[in-house]
């Protein structure tokens, strides 16, 4: 049994099983794990803040708090000044022993309302809640979390930023905004999606020396995407080798959506890209990007010949939901071509659900996912993993649930999480780009699972490269040239 890969992501239940395997099968005690956690976390703290001389550790009632108490003991032994604030009485077991060790070492345990009497620390340690968080922090804990966030002092979070659900990435209430999070034993899926990006800061994994055998009975629930690109092209090639994408959309006033999707498909390597749109957009499209073959279509009859020539479809950018839109949407679906469905293509699907027989990739944002599932956006965001998986099964398609930490799920339960992207990408047209990229990868021979994962990765990494000039004011078209470089695995200056 090999040790878990850094890409492996686990649920909280998985962590409990791994923990038990480490304790039962391998005889590693909970207190020994806690000591290792404290020791590794302190080492990370020294590495990040070598000048730190005074720590303030905030301890919760469970074993996360226990980690905090033992970190305090080790820090004092290392000559640091340490103040410990306990949120509540410490529960039993290893946490209580850790608290006793702190007191036996001469440490005081301060109540929350004595905070103002304590000297200002160089670093705050968040040991309030870890994987045991099961509801929104109560008012006292919430007030303490907001005070920690507002103190203007760096924060190291132990295992999970308190208030973040390690399973879903959802925050039911107040949440710590850490500068550094050291997570223990294995990586949790909730640390990579939803609100996690706002809370974890730099994320480090401390495996605590738990041997690979402890993972033998627990399969990872998800994986982080890897930076990938398509293989170099053969010298002897022609545009027919790289597929023909047909973008269908661009309703009234929406020419830009099909332009962006079409150009993204070209930049992602499609050999030919046609656009089926309203006749009034054709001139502008041909002028803006002559490499696109723009066609005015007024209904199924004029769309049909274009469908026959295409290898894959990008159905939905700016499509709208008019009678014209619906007629094209139905005709395109009936063609049984491999496709990417986005935007109003998804909204029409929510009204007329069907399962896909040809390879299909759906790319909903949380609102479109909510409509497809018939539930609220909040419900989708409270469990993004379940929503993405349910959509994949319901429609028998690969699903990209967009948002911070986009998820890629397939009907067989596989799920990958995108570690790249930035808030600058929350702007119009970014989704159109992704649709074109994935369609181009399908056209170049990728199956739906690979096309979605590779497309999401290229799109987000291009967004990170383009954001080097700043996230505010980042435009979708700014991603097109970085996309071309990444798609060819051309080294980029910010590659680590
Ligand atoms: N298992 C491991 O891999 C290791 C775990 N360690 C640390 O232990 C925590 C998990 O500890 P646990 O006692 O299960 O839970 P927490 O400390 O995260 O939570 C404390 C306790 O608080 C209760 N609770 C939950 N939510 C709330 C809330 N909103 N308000 C009030 N109280 C709440 C609940 O009963 C919890 O039990 C793990 O994260 C690691 O830090 C080991 O030290 C290292 C290996
Ligand atoms: K914590």
DSSP β-bridge partners for residue 295: 276
According to the model, what pLDDT value does residue 89 have?
Answer: 79
Give percent above pLDDT 90 in the chain. 90
With cut-offs at 50, 70 and 90, classify the pLDDT of residue 466.
Answer: very high
Task: Quote the ligand 2 centre to 130 CA distance (angstroms).
Answer: 5
Instruction: Tell whether the model's pLDDT for residue 444 goes beyond 90.
Output: yes
Atom 3 (ligand 1): residue with closest C-alpha?
Answer: 19
B/e letters for 320-353, b = 16+ CB within 10 Å, e = fewer, are beeebbbbbbebbbebebbbbbbbbbbbbbbeee
Number of neighbours of residue 194 by Cβ within 10 angstroms: 25
| pLDDT tens by residue, 295-310 | 999 999 999 999 999 9
CA atoms within 13 A on the CB side of 246: 25
Atom 21 (ligand 1): residue with closest C-alpha?
Answer: 62
User: Is the ipTM value over 0.90, yes or no?
Assistant: yes
According to the model, what pLDDT value does residue 495 have?
Answer: 43
| pLDDT tens by residue, 211-263 | 999 999 999 999 999 988 887 787 787 877 899 999 999 999 999 999 999 99
- Ligand 1 atom closest to Cα of residue 34: 43
Listed in sequence order, the residues at least 6 apart from 495 whose beta carbon sits closer than 8 Å to its beta carbon are: none
φ, ψ for residue 408 (rounded to 5)?
-120, 115
Residue 207 corresponds to which tokens in the numbers above? 């495996």
| pLDDT tens by residue, 98-141 | 999 999 999 999 999 999 999 999 999 999 999 999 999 999 99
| CB-CB contact of 276 with 328 (8 Å) | yes
According to the model, what pLDDT value does residue 494 have?
Answer: 43
Q: Which of 210-214, 396-400, 455-459 has the lowest mean pLDDT?
A: 210-214
Mean pLDDT of 387-396: 98
Query: How far is the C-alpha of 420 from the C-alpha of 479, rounded, in Å?
Result: 14
Query: How far is the C-alpha of 91 from the C-alpha of 79, rounded, in Å?
Result: 28
| pLDDT tens by residue, 181-208 | 999 999 999 999 999 999 999 999 999 9
Instruction: Tell whether the model's pLDDT for residue 312 goes beyond 90.
Output: yes
- Residue from 127, 133, 173, 208 whose mutation best tests the ligand 1 pocket (most atoms within 8 A of CB): 133
| CB-CB contact of 373 with 395 (8 Å) | no
The helix or strand, by DSSP H or E, that contains position 180, with its residue range, turns out to be strand 180-184
* Cα dihedral sign, 427-429-435-440: negative
Query: How far is the C-alpha of 387 from the C-alpha of 401, rounded, in Å?
Result: 8
Mean pLDDT of 257-270: 97
| pLDDT tens by residue, 16-37 | 999 999 988 778 899 999 999 9
Listed in sequence order, the residues at least 6 apart from 13 whose beta carbon sits closer than 8 Å to its beta carbon are: none
Please give the model's pTM, rounded to 2 decimal places. 0.95
Task: Quote the ligand 2 centre to 116 CA distance (angstroms).
Answer: 22
72 known member of a binding site: no
Mean pLDDT of 59-67: 97
Residue 314 corresponds to which tokens in the numbers above? 């990008």
According to the model, what pLDDT value does residue 491 have?
Answer: 56
Query: How far is the C-alpha of 276 from the C-alpha of 266, rounded, in Å?
Result: 16
Residue 165 corresponds to which tokens in the numbers above? 């659900």
**Ligand approaching nearest to the C-alpha of 31:** 1
Matching residue, tokens 């850490």: 178
- Ligand 1 atom closest to Cα of residue 94: 43
Residue 364 corresponds to which tokens in the numbers above? 């909903």
Pick the closest to residue 417 from 287, 223, 126, 146 (CA basis): 223
According to the model, what pLDDT value does residue 87 have?
Answer: 92
Give the DSSP per-residue string, 231-284. Answer: PPPPSS--GGGG-EEEEE---TT-HHHHHHHHHHHHHTT-SEEEEEE-GGGHHH
Give percent above pLDDT 70 in the chain. 98
| CB-CB contact of 335 with 267 (8 Å) | no
For the chain, state the CA radius of gyration.
Answer: 26
Instruction: Tell whether the model's pLDDT for residue 8 goes beyond 50.
Output: yes
Domains in the chain (CATH in brackets) are: 8-222 (3.40.50.10260), 239-487 (3.40.1190.20)
Ligand 1: does its nearest atom lie under 6 Å from the Cβ of 69? Answer: no
| pLDDT tens by residue, 482-495 | 999 898 876 554 44
Q: What angle do CA 143, 34, 157 make, to 5 degrees?
A: 35
Residue 386 corresponds to which tokens in the numbers above? 């379940």
DSSP state of 10: B
Residue 266 corresponds to which tokens in the numbers above? 């070209």
* Cα dihedral sign, 64-67-73-79: negative
Task: Quote the ligand 2 centre to 73 CA distance (angstroms).
Answer: 17
- Antiparallel, parallel or unpaired: β 398-401 and 407-409: antiparallel
**Ligand approaching nearest to the C-alpha of 125:** 2
Ligand 1: does its nearest atom lie under 6 Å from the Cβ of 60? Answer: yes
Residue 101 corresponds to which tokens in the numbers above? 């060790």
| CB-CB contact of 317 with 332 (8 Å) | no
With cut-offs at 50, 70 and 90, classify the pLDDT of residue 334.
Answer: very high
Mean pLDDT of 318-338: 98
Matching residue, tokens 């939901």: 321
Number of neighbours of residue 13 by Cβ within 10 angstroms: 12
Average predicted confidence (pLDDT) for the chain: 95
């Amino acid at each position: 049994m090999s040790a878990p890969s850094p890409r492996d992501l686990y649920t909280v239940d998985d962590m409990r099983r791994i923990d038990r395997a480490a304790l039962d099968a391998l005889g590693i005690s909970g207190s020994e794990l806690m000591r290792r956690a404290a020791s590794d976390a302190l080492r990370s703290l020294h590495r990040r803040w070598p000048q730190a001389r005074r720590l303030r550790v905030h301890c919760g009632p469970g074993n996360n708090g226990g980690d905090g108490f033992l970190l305090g003991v080790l820090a004092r032994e290392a000559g640091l000044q340490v103040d410990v604030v306990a949120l509540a009485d410490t529960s039993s077991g290893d946490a209580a022993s850790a608290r006793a060790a702190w007191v036996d070492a001469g440490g005081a345990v301060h109540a929350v309302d004595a905070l103002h009497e304590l000297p200002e620390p160089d670093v705050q340690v968040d040991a309030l809640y870890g994987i045991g968080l099961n509801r929104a922090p109560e008012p006292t804990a919430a007030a303490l979390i907001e005070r920690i966030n507002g103190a203007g002092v760096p924060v190291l979070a132990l295992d999970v930023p308190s208030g973040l659900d390690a399973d879903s990435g959802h925050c039911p209430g107040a949440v710590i905004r850490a500068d550094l999070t050291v997570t223990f034993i294995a990586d949790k899926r909730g640390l990579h999606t939803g609100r996690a990006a706002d809370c974890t800061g730099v994320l480090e994994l401390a495996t605590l020396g738990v041997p690979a055998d402890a993972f033998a009975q627990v399969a990872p629930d998800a994986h982080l995407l890897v930076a990938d690109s398509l293989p170099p092209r053969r010298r002897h090639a022609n545009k027919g080798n790289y597929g023909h994408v047909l973008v269908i959309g661009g309703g009234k006033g929406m020419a830009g959506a099909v332009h962006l999707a079409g150009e993204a498909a070209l930049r992602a390597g499609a050999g030919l890209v046609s656009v089926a749109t309203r006749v009034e957009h054709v001139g502008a499209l041909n002028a803006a990007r002559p490499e696109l073959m723009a066609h005015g279509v007024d209904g199924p009859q004029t769309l049909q010949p274009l469908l026959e020539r295409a290898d894959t479809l990008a159905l939905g950018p700016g499509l709208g939901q008019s009678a014209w839109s619906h007629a094209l949407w139905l005709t395109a679906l009936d063609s049984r071509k491999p496709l990417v469905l986005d935007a109003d293509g998804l909204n029409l699907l929510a009204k007329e659900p069907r399962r896909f027989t040809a390879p299909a990739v759906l790319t909903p944002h949380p609102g479109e996912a909510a409509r497809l599932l018939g539930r609220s956006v909040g419900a989708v965001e409270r469990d993004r993993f379940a929503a993405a998986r349910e959509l994949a099964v319901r429609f028998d398609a690969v699903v990209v649930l967009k948002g911070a930490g986009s998820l890629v799920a397939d009907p067989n339960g596989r799920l990958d999480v995108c570690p790249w992207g930035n808030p600058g990408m929350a702007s119009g047209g970014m989704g159109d780009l992704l649709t074109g990229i994935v369609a181009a990868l399908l056209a170049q021979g990728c199956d739906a699972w690979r096309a979605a994962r590779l497309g999401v990765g290229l799109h987000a990494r291009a967004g990170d490269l383009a954001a080097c000039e700043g996230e505010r004011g980042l435009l979708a078209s700014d991603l097109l040239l970085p996309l071309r470089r990444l798609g060819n695995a051309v080294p980029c200056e910010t590659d680590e």
